[in-house]
Chain A
Amino acid sequence: MTLTLTLRSSPPARVLAAPLIPERLRGLNTSEIAAVEVRCGREMVAVGDLFDVAGTADGQLVLAGDLRRFDGIGARMSSGEIVVRGDVGGSAGTEMSGGALRIFGDAGARLGAAYPGARVGMTGGEIMVTGNAGEEAGAGMRRGLVVVAGQSSRGAGLRMLAGTLIALGGIGAEAGLGNKRGTLVSGLAVEPLPVYELATRFHPPALRLQLRRARELGLTVDDALVRGTWARWSGDRTELTRGEILIFDGENGGR
């Protein structure tokens, strides 16, 4: 059975929700979960003071409510699944290494990224967002898949090491700065940074699989994107020139 935490009311300060991951809650009963403490501003508060707790922790955790004041949801998770029904704050999925984080709403800054000052962000797992993502999504990302149905804001893929960040609604400005081997994908036309250069237009077979995977995770992905042509921009040329930005180029020659 799924463990469901339903927010009662907006907390008085920002909450660090990092302890609320399936592997840490697995095996706990309802009262034990309600007693787990999270940091709220300068205080430690019990989960039961913030949420109604229902169900048992068996690997799937559902968080429901307006969670924009909750940072670090799914941070450092390595297995299981978190489903969020509502918007979330910053650093969701930060340094995640496995499992799936599915956000039915918007995500704040540094989605799937590294904590500020750390070099390596997400190292595995999958993140799906039905809305938009804030600044520096995927910063320092090393492995894994992040798919955003809407737009990712400024600085996506900053100092990305590898992995894939897809923004079906387009990536924002300054995407991919310092990118080494990562893949950034923009479903809308954008002007890449000058450190990227157009290589070719083609049908990327791996992207096709990733977009189909996004559908399995719950996103609606237009068939034109799956079958269409993509422009490959290689960069960052001040790094290894082994990263890429794939920009949707239309259905011409769709397969």
Chain B
Amino acid sequence: MTTYTLGHAEIADTFAEAFPMRFARLVITAATEAWALEAARSMTGFATSVIGCKCEAAIEQPVFPAESPDGRPAIAVLLFAMDREGVGKRVLERVGQSVMTCPTTACFDGLPGAERTVSLGRSLRYFGDGFQASKVIAGQRFWRIPVMEGEFLVCESVGVGRGVGGGNLVVGAGDEDAALGAAVAAVDAMRGEGIALPFPGGIVRSGSKVGSLRSKSLAASTNHQMAPTLRVQVEDTLVPEGVGAMFEIVIDGVSEDAVREAMRRGLHAAAGAGATHVTAANFGGKLGEFHFRLSELRDPP
């Protein structure tokens, strides 16, 4: 495989393969930023991969009170699924279990005016057992669901957009500490508007491949080609000599451009933070319609 260098890092001339997904953006407000964060963390928990969790979700960014829908501290979260129906189901489950249950929160649509929507408050209102009430405020309907604390306010529906899921970078270095440090730097650079990094801390240490070498029933199994401990054991290893640990960063974004620019930021940050090898995961280009070539990310952000 051909490579180019960025600082001290060798960048593989390969590409990340990504897929079209549907997403919703929710804005969770609360009395304090800490409570908004609690709700957002709970809502985006166990949402690392559509394969195992039926959706991918992450905190997008904090929203300042001056810009939040009700003037309180807020956190914006992004949730991705393969289709609109999937987004609707997961949003409803997660807001019901993680946001409505969290003290002082209210939940708003972060994609107002979107062409397609899915029901949220319209369905969740039944939790109010007939005691719920609605208010139309500035043309938007909200549901007031009576709860033990007072009322939970939730928007009638949320917009669904077309996004991109599965962009990725794989960051390697001589040992675990160096590789993790570089990956963390990449994550810090990538986070922001329009980007969700759904894995813990934004980082995956157990990247997977589709299927299994030994079992037909496994949907995914370890990416043995990128496991350093197997470097001399498997013939088709992708771990270069001198690389002792690799971490993957999976990127979902609200657009192809958002993913590409996040990858660019991450690539340059990793290279500047001790990565010695950066590559990307793909499926040979046959599965995903979006290909992000690392060679096209050479120019700094």
Interface assignment of A159: CB less than 8 Å from any CB of chain B: no
CB-based contact B150/A209 at 8 Å? no
The size bracket of the interface on A is 20 to 34
CB-based contact B142/A209 at 8 Å? yes
**How many angstroms between the C-alpha atoms of A143 and B104 in the bound complex?**
27
Q: Which residue of B lies closest to A164 (CB)?
A: B135
Q: Which residue of A lies closest to B133 (CB)?
A: A181
Interface assignment of B153: CB less than 8 Å from any CB of chain A: yes
State which of B71, B133, B142, B149 has its C-beta within 8 Å of the C-beta of A226: B71
CB-based contact B153/A202 at 8 Å? no
A195-244 interface (Cβ within 8 A of B): 200, 202-206, 208-210, 212-213, 216, 226, 242
Interface assignment of A22: CB less than 8 Å from any CB of chain B: no
- Render B111-142 as a binary contact track against A, CB cut-off 8 A, 1 for contact: 00000000000000000000001011110001
State which of B104, B137, B149, B152 has its C-beta within 8 Å of the C-beta of A209: B137
Q: Assuming A143-B136, A213-B137, A255-B104, is B70 touching A208 (CB within 8 A)?
A: yes
State which of A210, A212, A255 has its C-beta within 8 Å of the C-beta of B31: A255
CB-based contact A205/B151 at 8 Å? yes
Cβ contacts under 8 Å, A178 to chain B? none
**How many angstroms between the C-alpha atoms of A164 and B137 in the bound complex?**
10
A225 CB, nearest partner CB in chain B, Å: 12
Cβ contacts under 8 Å, A226 to chain B? 71
Q: Assuming A164-B135, A216-B138, is B150 touching A208 (CB within 8 A)?
A: no
State which of B31, B72, B135, B149 has its C-beta within 8 Å of the C-beta of A206: B135
Q: Assuming A255-B31, A255-B104, is B70 touching A204 (CB within 8 A)?
A: no
- Render B96-109 as a binary contact track against A, CB cut-off 8 A, 1 for contact: 00000000101000
Consensus secondary structure, chain A interface? mixed
Interface assignment of B144: CB less than 8 Å from any CB of chain A: yes
CB-based contact A213/B151 at 8 Å? no
Residues of A within 8 A of B (CB): 124, 143-145, 164, 181, 183, 200, 202-206, 208-210, 212-213, 216, 226, 242, 255
A and B contact pairs by CB, cutoff 8 A, 21 listed: A145-B136, A183-B135, A200-B150, A202-B149, A202-B151, A203-B150, A205-B70, A206-B142, A206-B151, A208-B70, A208-B71, A209-B69, A209-B138, A209-B153, A210-B135, A210-B137, A212-B70, A213-B137, A213-B138, A255-B72, A255-B104
Give 16 new A-B contacts, CB below 8 A, not counting A209-B153, A242-B133: A124-B136, A144-B136, A183-B135, A202-B150, A204-B151, A205-B70, A205-B151, A205-B153, A206-B135, A206-B144, A206-B153, A209-B135, A209-B142, A210-B135, A226-B71, A255-B72
